[in-house]
Structure 1
Amino acid sequence: MATQIVMDHTGDSRHFFDQTDQEGLATAERRFRKLTGQGFTATTRTPSGDLRVVRAFDPTADETLFYPRLVGG
């Protein structure tokens, strides 16, 4: 089971999907495109445990973390 974790001002929400299910993959890819289109940054974990920014949906990623654009000033 793969997970997409979406961070926002309320905390986080988790969306689970089966990587072998085409419908689940399509839904996950739509969510990826929607969130990154809204300015969220998407990251996946490297084998060493570090986060790596990704610009395209990776259907093999076990975990994708989305966090909102930081606003400062």
Structure 2
Amino acid sequence: MATQIVMNHTGDSRHFFDQTDPDGLARAERRFKKLIGQGFTAAARTAAGDLKVVRTFDPTADETLFYPRLVGG
């Protein structure tokens, strides 16, 4: 089961999907594109446990984190 973790000002929300389910993959890819379009940064966890920024949906990623755009002032 893969996870998309969306960080926000209240903590995070987690979205789980089965990587072998075409419908689940389609929903996950739509969520990825929507969040990227809203300015979130996506990072996938590597096998070593590090995070690597990704710009396209990776259906094989077990965990993808989405960070909101930072607002300075």
TM-score, normalised by the number of residues in structure 2: 0.96
CA distance in 1, matches of 2:69, 2:24: 26
In structure 1, distance between residues paired with 2:16 and 2:47: 21
> Which position in structure 1 is the counterpart of 2:57?
57
> How many aligned positions are there?
73
CA RMSD of aligned residues (A): 0.6
Can you give the 5+ residue segments of structure 2 that lack an aligned partner in the other structure?
Answer: none
Q: Which runs of 4+ in 1 moved over 2 A?
A: none
Identity %: 84
Q: Aligned letter for 1:17?
A: F
Q: Extract unaligned runs of 5+ from structure 1.
A: none
Aligned counterparts, 1:1-73, within 5 A: 1-73=1-73
TM-score, length basis structure 1: 0.96
